[in-house]
Amino acid sequence: MNSFLRFLFYGVFIRLIVLIILGLNVRHRERLPKAGPAIIVANHNSHLDTMVLMSLFPLSLLPKLHPVAAVDYFLTSRLFSWFTLKVIGILPIKRTISRGDDNPLAPCNQALADGQLLIVFPEGSRGEPEQMQSFKGGIARLAESHPTVPVTPVFLHGLGKALPKGESVLVPFFCDVFVGEPLPWTGDRRSYMRQLDERMRQLAAEGNFPAWN
């Protein structure tokens, strides 16, 4: 029942919104992973980011595809939790750790071991529309623990214009999705973060975006 709802949600409803109301300009789609385990890393400006990334993959991968999301935001009420866990299919993790907690990335490690595809937004929150914040280090820890799992960076533009944080009206815009080459594990976390940053900047520089201020 839930998996059917999830199929309906992503396969019909979200695809209609993403492809007709919005419209995507995808570059290098062939670089996306075709099977799990895999990590997709993207910048984050809108709730639509997840929806767009989910719609880039064939529906056959849907059962294995999960956005990693914050417990404190997405698991607030009972009904909302059911929706985010079962329909959106998030993998909840804790944003803040207190003493004595287990490794907050343990659910991700488990999911990757099970061959799942994870969507990660290392900025940690959506922030100001169309401005990229610096990436947080958890992604490097994840890559370190799974050096053979491909980490594919994706740059998104325009979704922060269509539905920014704090807005409820969706305004249609064509959005850009630039997929980068997977980034192999470099051996240490600092150089890995630097390279990931660099790759995101290069992807962003592929576009010629109009002013928005």
Partner 1 sequence: MIQFQVSPHVLWSLGGLYAVLVVASAWVMMLRWRAPEKDRTELVQRIRSWWLIVSIFTLVIIMSCNVAVAFFAFVSFLALKEYLSIVPTRRADRRVLFWAYLSIPVQYYWVAQAWYGMFIIFIPVYVFLLLPMRMVIIGETKEFLRAAGLLHWGIMTMVFGISHIAYLLVLPEATNPSAGGTGLVLFLVFLTEFNDVAQYLWGKMLGRKKIIPKVSPNKTWEGFLGGMVTTTLLSILLADWLTPMPWTVAIAAGLLISVAGFIGDVTISALKRDIGLKDSGSLLPGHGGILDRIDSLTYTAPLFFHFIYYLYY
Using the contact rule CB under 8 A, the part of the chain among 100-108, 115-123, 166-174, 191-199 near partner 1 is 166-174
Helix (H, G, I), strand (E, B) or coil at 124: coil
Q: Can you tell me which of 158, 196, 199, 200 binds partner 1, judged by CB under 8 A?
A: 158
Give yes or no for residue 161 binding partner 1 (CB under 8 A).
yes
Minimum separation from the CB atom of position 155 to partner 1 (A): 16
Give yes or no for residue 19 binding partner 1 (CB under 8 A).
no
Using the contact rule CB under 8 A, the part of the chain among 50-58, 145-153, 160-168, 184-192 near partner 1 is 160-168
Task: State the residue for tokens 């994706």.
Answer: 154
Question: What's the Cα-to-Cα distance from 171 to each of 21, 23, 52, 204, rounded to whole Å?
Answer: 9, 12, 15, 22
Q: Which is nearer to partner 1, 58 or 210 (CB)?
A: 210
Q: Can you tell me which of 77, 96, 148, 208 binds partner 1, judged by CB under 8 A?
A: 208
Q: What distance in Å separates the CA atoms of residue 62 and residue 11, rounded to the nearest whole number?
A: 9
Minimum separation from the CB atom of position 73 to partner 1 (A): 23
State CA 115 to chain mean position distance: 17
**Residue 207 — φ and ψ, nearest 5°?**
-95, 165
Give yes or no for residue 167 binding partner 1 (CB under 8 A).
yes
Tokens of 173: 């815009």
Q: What distance in Å separates the CA atoms of residue 198 and residue 76, rounded to the nearest whole number?
A: 35
Site residues for partner 1 per CB under 8 A = 23, 25, 129, 158, 161, 164, 167, 169, 171-175, 208, 210-213
